[in-house]
């Protein structure tokens, strides 16, 4: 009998409306928003100026217009200090369009300080967190080979825990397993979720500190401080974005609404909205995204120049004709990660070509 592939709960458990067509899905979402705003009227919504945020604010305000008794929502824009003018201008225009106030908040620690102190992201938040712990703890990559060669993987996992105390997450990350020693090669929380990554960092160790802590300092910590006085927090996270947003969280496995450990409630109305659903809504209601999308040609914004986007360098080239200074700033902050990503991409390409031809990749191949 073939072994069943492990899948996260966000893919195996889902509410019925997640599979509705776009018109019915958004109608269901409006019902959810209306219900939750009635139950928890003191609500705050994070607005980034990105495409998902534009859909989110439109459907919230459209719902409020349909149900006049619903309370107003507080909107917050968290400015990291490395934002495109296109984004900042769009935030102002959006506030005017809906007749709402979108309050801007800035971090106490700048993105430059955070990057210098903690490190810079590489590939993804998950990968950055794993590699950051690996750099700090100094656990050798060779434990992965030990684990893979062991007949009793659970016993080997226990032995590694004894040998490297307080390194649970790093061991799981490097060995692509869980704490019970069961192989988990197909989930995002392990190093080889990015093909050949373990081999690559073994052959070409990073010469800079890796961390996604800048996101905590410049966005999450600021958001938590602002949101703590509200009953309900509304965000535009979508499962289809992948990365951390498709991984079950402590406060939410699959549902778009949940109670957090702090006693607050978190609402993610767009969690089951697909890219196709989003495109339908944009056309149906004439939503206009910022110039970053409509003029520069970006398909995603997020934090400007963030290296977790595989298109970061290409996107910066699109931005450059319009906002050269922000591009220069991004390279000054994240350049080490951009260059290392290019090196990794080249390594991966050569490895795949070598495997396809049945040959071996030599050091000269990589250098060439």
Consecutive H or E run containing 232:
strand 232-234
- pLDDT recorded at residue 186: 80
Rounded Cα distance, 324 and 332, in Å: 12
pLDDT in tens, 318-338: 999 999 999 999 999 999 999
The neighbour count for residue 322, using CB atoms within 10 Å, is 15
What pTM, to 2 d.p., does this model score? 0.81
Task: Taking residues 340-344, report their average pLDDT.
Answer: 97
pLDDT in tens, 53-88: 999 999 999 999 999 999 999 999 999 989 999 999
Beta-bridge partners for 78 = 105
- pLDDT recorded at residue 84: 96
The neighbour count for residue 46, using CB atoms within 10 Å, is 20
Query: Does 355 score more than 70 pLDDT?
Result: yes
- pLDDT recorded at residue 365: 52
CA–chain centroid gap for 347, Å, is 24
pLDDT > 90 in the chain, percent: 76
pLDDT in tens, 254-267: 468 888 888 899 99
pLDDT band of residue 251 (cuts 50, 70, 90) is very low
Handedness of CA 90, 96, 100, 105 (dihedral sign): positive
Structure-model confidence comparison of residues 162 and 253, the more confident one: 162
Sorted by where each begins, the domain ranges of the chain are 9-113+213-302, 125-193, 318-367
Query: Does 250 score more than 50 pLDDT?
Result: no
- pLDDT recorded at residue 13: 64
Rounded Cα distance, 37 and 33, in Å: 6
- pLDDT recorded at residue 253: 43
Question: Under DSSP, is residue 33 helix (H, G, I), strand (E, B) or coil?
Answer: helix
Interstrand relation of 232-234 and 74-78 (parallel, antiparallel or unpaired): unpaired
**CB-count exposure of residue 280 (10 Å: 0-12, 13-18, 19+):** middle
CA–chain centroid gap for 331, Å, is 20
Rounded Cα distance, 53 and 47, in Å: 5
Query: Does 306 score more than 80 pLDDT?
Result: yes
- pLDDT recorded at residue 9: 52
pLDDT in tens, 116-129: 999 999 999 999 99
* 325 HSE (CA, 13 A, CB side): 6
Torsion angle, CA of 196/197/201/202, rounded to 10 degrees? -40
- pLDDT recorded at residue 239: 85
Domain 9-113+213-302, CATH homologous superfamily name and number: HUPs (3.40.50.620)
Query: Does 168 score more than 90 pLDDT?
Result: yes
pLDDT in tens, 279-301: 999 999 999 999 999 999 999 88
What is the chain's alpha carbon radius of gyration, rounded to the nearest angstrom? 22
CA–chain centroid gap for 160, Å, is 30
pLDDT band of residue 247 (cuts 50, 70, 90) is very low
Q: At what angle do helices 125-137 and 168-175 cross, to 10 degrees?
A: 120
- pLDDT recorded at residue 30: 97
For the chain, the average pLDDT equals: 89
pLDDT band of residue 48 (cuts 50, 70, 90) is very high
């Amino acid at each position: 009998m073939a072994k069943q592939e492990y899948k996260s709960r966000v893919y195996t458990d889902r509410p019925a409306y997640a599979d509705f067509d776009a018109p019915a899905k958004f109608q269901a979402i409006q019902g959810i928003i209306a219900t939750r705003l009635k139950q928890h009227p003191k609500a705050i919504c994070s607005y980034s100026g990105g495409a998902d945020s534009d859909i989110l604010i439109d459907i919230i305000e459209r719902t409020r217009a349909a149900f006049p008794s619903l309370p107003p929502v507080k909107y917050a824009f968290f400015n990291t200090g490395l934002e495109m003018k296109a984004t900042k201008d769009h935030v102002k225009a959006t506030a005017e369009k809906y007749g709402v106030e979108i309050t801007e908040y800035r971090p106490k620690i700048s993105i430059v300080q955070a990057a210098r102190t903690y490190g810079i992201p590489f590939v993804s938040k998950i990968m950055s967190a794993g590699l950051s712990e690996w750099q700090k703890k100094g656990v050798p990559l060779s434990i992965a080979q030990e684990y893979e060669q062991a007949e009793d993987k659970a016993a080997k996992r226990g032995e590694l825990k004894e040998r490297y105390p307080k390194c649970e997450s790093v061991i799981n990350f490097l060995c692509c397993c869980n704490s019970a020693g069961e192989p988990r090669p197909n989930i995002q929380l392990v190093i080889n979720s990015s093909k050949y990554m373990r081999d690559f960092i073994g052959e070409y160790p990073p010469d800079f500190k890796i961390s996604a802590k800048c996101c905590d300092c410049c966005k999450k910590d600021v958001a938590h401080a602002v949101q703590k006085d509200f009953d309900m927090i509304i965000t535009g996270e979508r499962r289809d974005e992948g990365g951390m947003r498709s991984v079950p969280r402590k406060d939410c496995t699959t549902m778009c609404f949940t109670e957090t450990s702090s006693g607050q409630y978190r609402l993610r109305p767009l969690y089951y909205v697909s890219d196709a659903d989003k495109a339908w809504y944009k056309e149906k209601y004439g939503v206009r995204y910022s110039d970053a999308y409509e003029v520069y040609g970006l398909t995603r914004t997020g934090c400007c120049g963030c290296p977790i986007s595989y298109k970061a360098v290409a996107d910066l080239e699109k931005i450059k004709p319009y906002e050269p200074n922000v591009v220069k700033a991004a390279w000054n902050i994240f350049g080490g990660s951009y260059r290392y990503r290019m090196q990794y991409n080249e390594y991966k390409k050569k490895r795949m070509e070598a495997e396809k031809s049945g040959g071996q990749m030599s050091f000269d191949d990589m250098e060439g």
